[in-house]
Amino acid sequence: MRFEFSRGFRFFTYFSIVLFFALAVTSLYVGLFMRQSPNLNIPAVFGIAAMFVVAGIYQISITPRLREAIVITDDGIAQELANGSKVTIRWKEVARLKERPFLGRLELISIEPTRVVRIEYQIRGFPDLVALLLHHLESSKLIAEQGSKGL
């Protein structure tokens, strides 16, 4: 099965980039030019604009991940990356399943620690993906060794 980000989620991410930069420009314009008297809160105006710019830059940094996909087969799991490469882990090579709630994803780590499949919570069909993942991991005995850790 193939799992990827929904079109709506991708649209929202692209739209938020435009929105954050528009809010940065608007806050600068309103704070600096739409006043009769000098603005004493110029540091706050720049701070607010900088906050919107940082949020926009973060959104830009995550856009390449929107083209990624997770493919689950009977042999293993693969993450198709935005640059066209693939990270594949066979079920018998899975060393650990790690939940990363602050990053909003699960990480499936191979016995070769440089191979990691990252599964974002926002991916379309995430509950089905997790059920399928747990089924395969239970079959390969990883869950019995590690415990389900609340998944």
Mean pLDDT in order along the chain per 10 residues (151 residues): 92 93 90 74 87 92 90 93 92 91 92 91 93 86 54 51
pTM: 0.74
Domain boundaries, the chain: 2-65, 68-146
Residue 143: per-residue pLDDT: 55
Residue 30: per-residue pLDDT: 84
Residue 128: per-residue pLDDT: 94
Residue 141: per-residue pLDDT: 66
Bridge-based pairing state of the strands 105-110 and 94-100: antiparallel
Residue 28: per-residue pLDDT: 86
- Burial class of residue 19 in the structure, from the number of CB atoms within 10 Å of its CB (0-12 exposed, 13-18 middle, 19+ buried): middle
Contact between residue 51 and residue 40 where contact means Cβ atoms under 8 Å apart:
no
Residue 29: per-residue pLDDT: 86
CATH 1.10.260 fits 68-146, yes or no: no
Count of C-beta atoms within a 10 Å radius of residue 45:
16
Residue 41: per-residue pLDDT: 78
Whole-angstrom Cα Rg for the chain: 21
Residue 113: per-residue pLDDT: 83
